[in-house]
């Protein structure tokens, strides 16, 4: 991060410092997208102290800035919303009505250290040199890159713990799947697919939660929307379905009942869990509306939670509600978008409000996993021989921030989950599509612009589902909750994330 040098109208800057200030780019750099507050480089959701011209300097400074711009200050000064720096050897003009003051003495005597210089080609200095040039006290301006990287390192999962936990989960789940298949009948053709943060390589803190999809292939279904979100559907079979073994799960209206199928699978798993000898496994009580059968595996000193999710894999085109979603052309490319949309349609046994018995929800877990594991606009991003970006690092930081806030304010933030953060992440990747927009050396800036976008969504109560744009994940009916989370995030942002200092 580059330190910001402000030239006050009431202080004479030494010629050397004034010349160096001319080479310091404005912070934050202009945002080129038109999707984020009209390309405003200082969105209102970000703290005032980070946005020149929006508070932080009081009414007199804002008036001085407006006066300077009206007087035809330099182009750099206009873009940054501040007075253009003085030319080498030239004294900056004093504010009207106030006499100039002598320059402050540098610590230890002599002139203050010069600001970082531009490279030979006139561009920004390399990231390592920029970070090294930041004074100790300046790291707090944007959270401090070294501190954010330290937080990420603490969130990384210990390799040995991951190996032990994943090995235990694999043994239990493999035994269960083998037993379920051996029974034949409705679930004889299920396949396993790992989903969720662990398999997307964005799991934080502990390897204590795993999501396993049990896929049931279905040739074709009739989908009928049951609400205006475009995410929930009634399912029914067309004439003479191949999957006749599923006909027993139809309700009185001929709809495929998610409740009946999930209940049947749950009973099988509860019986098979009792036969597992090399691990202590229990089936947790069903949560209302949840599409998962949750196993709890004893693994001292903690337990491992495994969500088994019944999923229909349907070989047909995605429904019309998804037509304008997945807009990744500028990020991953038009060809990749076509390939992703040609993948199977997934539906999970998730009820919608009062119609929980026989409704299904679209799931894009397999697509999200593919995008997270191949997230670069260039095909070598974060590979062994490619440049490293900070996309996943930013996602982990915001996931952890939300997780810790939910622990403190469980009731107030009950409606929020990591999927809100992940959705904002995908939108941010589209808004800033290039790998250079997420350079690892610019972690603090990238995290702030990503968090700024999420704050903007909260303030507007508007976060479109990434695959179903008409589905708003932040309902205006929950505006009180949205505002509460916005205030908490702004507090963390304005105080250099005190919650990050609580990591053990």
DSSP-derived secondary structure for 268-314: HHHHHHTT--SS-EEEPPPPTT--EEEEEEEETTEEEEEEEEEEEEE
Q: CA 2, CA 404: separation in Å to the nearest integer?
A: 29
Report residue 215 as tokens.
Answer: 């896929």
Residue appearing with tokens 């199928």: 261
Q: Where are the beta strands (DSSP E) in 350-489?
A: 359-363
Q: Tens digit of pLDDT for each residue in 466-476?
A: 999 999 999 88
Residue 48 has pLDDT above 50, yes or no: no
CA–CA distances in Å: residue 219 to residues 26, 225, 237, 316, 410: 57, 19, 10, 8, 42
* 3-state SS, residue 468: coil
Report yes or no: 430 and 390 within 8 Å, Cβ to Cβ. Answer: no
Residue 1 has pLDDT above 60, yes or no: no
pLDDT number for residue 157:
76
pLDDT number for residue 345:
95
Q: Tens digit of pLDDT for each residue in 147-201?
A: 888 888 888 877 788 788 888 888 999 999 988 888 877 888 889 888 877 777 7
pTM over 0.85: no
* 3-state SS, residue 469: coil
Q: Residue 41: CB partners within 8 Å, gap ≥ 6?
A: 26, 28, 29, 30, 31, 51
Element (H, E) at 346: strand 345-348
Residue 206 has pLDDT above 50, yes or no: yes
Q: Give the CATH fold of the 158-374 domain.
A: Beta Polymerase; domain 2 (3.30.460)
* 3-state SS, residue 388: coil
Report yes or no: 346 and 362 within 8 Å, Cβ to Cβ. Answer: yes
Q: Tens digit of pLDDT for each residue in 446-489?
A: 999 999 999 999 999 999 999 999 999 998 899 999 999 999 99
pLDDT number for residue 185:
76
pLDDT number for residue 42:
35
Residue appearing with tokens 């250099």: 496
The CATH number assigned to the domain with range 128-145+378-504 reads: 1.10.1410.40
Closest residue by Cα to residue 216 from 320, 322, 367, 345: 345
Q: Tens digit of pLDDT for each residue in 317-350?
A: 999 999 999 999 999 999 999 999 999 999 998 7
If you write DSSP's letter for every residue of 214-274 in order, what string do you get? EEEEES--EEEE-SSSSSEEEEE--SS-S-GGGGGGB-TTSPBPHHHHHHHHHHHHHHHHT
**Share above pLDDT 70 across residues of the chain, in percent, rounded to a whole number:** 69
Q: Where are the domains of the chain?
A: 1-99, 128-145+378-504, 158-374
Q: Tell me, letter by letter, the H, E, C secondary structure of 122-185.
A: CCCCCHHHHHHHCCHHHHHHHCCHHHHHHHHHHHCCCHHHHHHHHHHHHHHHHHHHHHHHHCCH
pLDDT number for residue 278:
83
Q: CA 504, CA 500: separation in Å to the nearest integer?
A: 10
Identical fold for domains 128-145+378-504 and 158-374, yes or no, is no
Q: Residue 146: CB partners within 8 Å, gap ≥ 6?
A: 131, 139
Mean pLDDT of 378-383: 86
pLDDT number for residue 146:
52
Confidence band for 229, pLDDT divided at 50, 70 and 90: very high
pLDDT number for residue 344:
94
Ranges 95-99, 123-127, 198-202, most confident: 198-202
Residue 111 has pLDDT above 50, yes or no: no
Q: What residues does 213 pair with on adjacent strands?
A: 193, 309
> What angle is formed at CA 221 by the lines to CA 215 and CA 224, rounded to 5 degrees?
115
pLDDT number for residue 504:
52
pLDDT number for residue 352:
52
196: left (phi over 0), alpha (psi -120 to 50) or beta: left
Closest residue by Cα to residue 225 from 261, 255, 262: 255
The least confident of 80-89, 345-354, 494-503 is: 80-89
Q: CA 450, CA 489: separation in Å to the nearest integer?
A: 12
pLDDT number for residue 399:
93
Q: CA 317, CA 341: separation in Å to the nearest integer?
A: 8
Mean pLDDT of 1-27: 38
Report residue 287 as tokens.
Answer: 């949560």
Q: Quick one: DSSP state of residue 192?
A: E
């Amino acid at each position: 991060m580059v330190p910001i040098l402000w030239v006050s109208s009431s202080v004479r800057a030494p010629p050397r410092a004034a010349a160096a200030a001319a080479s310091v780019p404005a912070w934050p750099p202009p945002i080129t997208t038109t999707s984020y507050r009209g390309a405003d480089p200082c969105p209102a959701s970000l703290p005032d102290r980070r946005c020149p011209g929006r508070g932080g300097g009081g009414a007199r400074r804002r008036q001085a800035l407006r006066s300077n711009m009206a007087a035809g200050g330099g182009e750099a000064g206009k873009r940054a919303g501040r007075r253009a720096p003085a030319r080498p050897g030239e004294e900056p003009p004093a504010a009207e009505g106030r006499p100039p003051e002598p320059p402050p003495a540098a610590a230890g005597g002599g002139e203050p250290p010069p600001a970082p210089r531009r490279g030979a080609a006139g561009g920004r200095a390399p990231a390592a040199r920029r970070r090294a040039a930041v004074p100790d006290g300046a790291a707090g301006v944007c959270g401090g890159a070294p501190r954010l990287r330290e937080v990420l390192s603490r969130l990384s999962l210990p390799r040995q713990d991951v190996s032990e936990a994943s090995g235990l989960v694999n043994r239990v789940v493999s035994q269960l799947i083998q037993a379920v298949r051996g029974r034949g009948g409705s679930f004889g053709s299920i396949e396993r697919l790992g989903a969720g943060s662990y398999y997307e390589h964005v799991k934080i803190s502990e390897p204590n939660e795993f999501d396993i999809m049990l896929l049931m292939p279905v040739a074709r279904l009739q989908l009928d929307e049951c609400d205006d979100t475009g995410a929930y559907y009634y399912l029914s079979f067309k004439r003479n379905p191949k999957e006749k073994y599923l006909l027993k799960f139809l309700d009185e209206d001929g709809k495929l009942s998610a409740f009946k199928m999930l209940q049947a699978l749950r009973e099988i798993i509860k019986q098979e869990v009792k036969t597992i000898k090399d691990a202590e496994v229990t089936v947790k009580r069903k949560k209302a509306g949840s599409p998962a059968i949750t196993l709890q595996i004893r693994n001292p000193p903690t337990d491992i939670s495994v969500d088994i999710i019944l999923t229909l894999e349907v070989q047909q085109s995605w429904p019309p509600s998804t037509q304008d979603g997945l807009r990744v052309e500028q990020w991953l490319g038009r060809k990749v978008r076509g390939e992703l949309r040609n993948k199977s349609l997934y539906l999970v046994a998730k009820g919608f409000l009062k119609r929980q018995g026989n409704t299904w929800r679209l799931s894009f877990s397999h697509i999200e996993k593919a995008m997270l594991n191949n997230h670069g606009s260039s095909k070598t991003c974060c590979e062994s021989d490619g440049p490293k970006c900070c996309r996943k690092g930013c996602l982990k930081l915001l996931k952890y921030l939300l997780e810790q806030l939910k622990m403190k304010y469980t009731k107030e933030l009950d409606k929020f989950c990591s999927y809100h953060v992940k959705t904002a992440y995908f939108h941010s990747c589209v808004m800033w599509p290039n790998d250079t927009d997420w350079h690892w050396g610019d972690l603090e800036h990238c995290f702030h612009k990503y968090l700024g976008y999420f704050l903007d969504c909260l303030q507007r109560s508007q976060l479109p589902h990434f695959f179903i744009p008409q589905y708003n994940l932040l309902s205006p009916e929950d505006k009180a909750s949205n505002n509460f989370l916005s205030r908490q995030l702004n507090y963390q942002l304005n105080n250099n994330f005190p919650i990050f200092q609580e990591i053990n």
